[in-house]
Amino acid sequence: MSMKLIELGGFDTVPAISTGNLREDNIANAKLYQRLLKNGENTGLYPVFVKKNYEFDYFRLRLSDRGVKDRETYQKAVSQMLEDVNWKCFEVWQGRMLYDYKLDCCVSTRDYEEYMEDLIPPVSDEYNSLFDNAKEIESFGLHDEEEMDTKYAETFIHFEDYVVVLLPIRNPWEALAWFPMGSFNSCPSPSCQIALAKGLYEKYGARIMFIGLDRLTYYLEKPLLKKYETEAAAKTLIIVDGDLYPDYEETVKGIIGRHTWQFWWD
């Protein structure tokens, strides 16, 4: 039987809130995360939601098969992954994604700049009013709010299977070195995911909140309300996840004032 990553790391954990009401539990767990995040300022422990039964075998390739067999080698693999990320930055990550999935025919910096400009198509007459009346949306959860309204959610979201891992890290993006994900379909590799997470935190204050097998949730203590910030973030999200963010104006509408950003790669 494969060792669970939580056991391998010897982390302290807090069980997720599970009452059977998905919508209420969704919001309650987001509030739990906020409290633990605040507590972490004193304890030095960073909270992140994962499934408690994640087995190491799933993540073996995402750790580049560095011979991880015990806690010591696990820690060394994590340190090596974080060291690798030092050779990447947000712009490198973005350029890599664009080259791999969007700009494989482009050969110059100008090609890249034109592509980024084209990401903002003509918008509706109501577009600017989004920023004129922008306000914080206080009700939010671990998962997308609309997702909780469907019967389909009950088949794959079970909060009793979740746990909050308390990681001894200083930077939120480091959580993705302890629980790496990626390298399937169009999902960025684990090291690129960390470079992305670092960039989103430094630019927008977005923190890793939930790490799933094929999805991530980011939390923003201060949601984006300003036009230039929201537009820049929207461009990035379209590049990151064209499934959830295929349309520019809808992406802006979907993130302005919101405390969480969702990513999903099928």
Sequence-ordered list of residues with C-beta below 8 angstroms from that of 190, at least 6 positions apart, any chain: 62, 63, 81, 176, 177, 180, 181, 182, 183
Count of beta carbons in the 10 Å neighbourhood of residue 29: 22
Question: 3-class secondary structure for the chain?
Answer: CCCEHHHHHCCEEEECCCCCCHHHHHHHHHHHHHHHHHHHHHHCCEEEEEECCCEHHHHCHHHCCCCCCCHHHHHHHHHHHHHHHCCCCHHHHHHHHHHHHHCCCCCCHHHHHHHHHHCCCCCCCCCCHHHHCCCCCCCCCCCCCHHHHCCCHHHHCCHHHEEEEEECCCCHHHHHHHCCCCCCCCCCCHHHHHHHHHHHHHHHCEEEEEECCCEEEEEECCCCCCHHHHHHHHHHHHHHCCCCCCCHHHHHHHHCCCCEEEEECC
d(Cα 26, Cα 16) in Å, to the nearest integer? 10
Amino acid letter for position 67: G
Model pLDDT, residue 31: 96
For residues 248 and 220, what is the distance between their CA atoms, to the nearest angstrom? 20
- The residue count for the chain: 266
| CA pair distance 248, 229, nearest whole angstrom | 14
Residue type, 3: M
Provide the pLDDT for residue 162: 93
What is the structure's pLDDT at 102?
A: 58
pLDDT of residue 58: 47
Q: Where along the chain do its domains lie?
A: 5-263
Amino acid (1-letter code) at residue 56 = F
What's the CA gap between 149 and 95, in Å, rounded?
37
Work out the number of other CB atoms within 10 angstroms of the CB of residue 106: 15
The chain-wide mean pLDDT, for the chain, equals 85
Instruction: Give the global pTM.
Output: 0.89
User: Which residues neighbour 44 within 8 Å (Cβ) at sequence distance 6 or greater?
Assistant: 168, 170
Among left, alpha and beta (phi > 0; psi -120 to 50; other), residue 122 is beta
| Mean pLDDT in order along the chain per 10 residues (266 residues) | 72 95 95 96 95 62 58 86 78 67 60 74 86 91 90 91 94 93 77 88 96 92 95 90 88 95 88
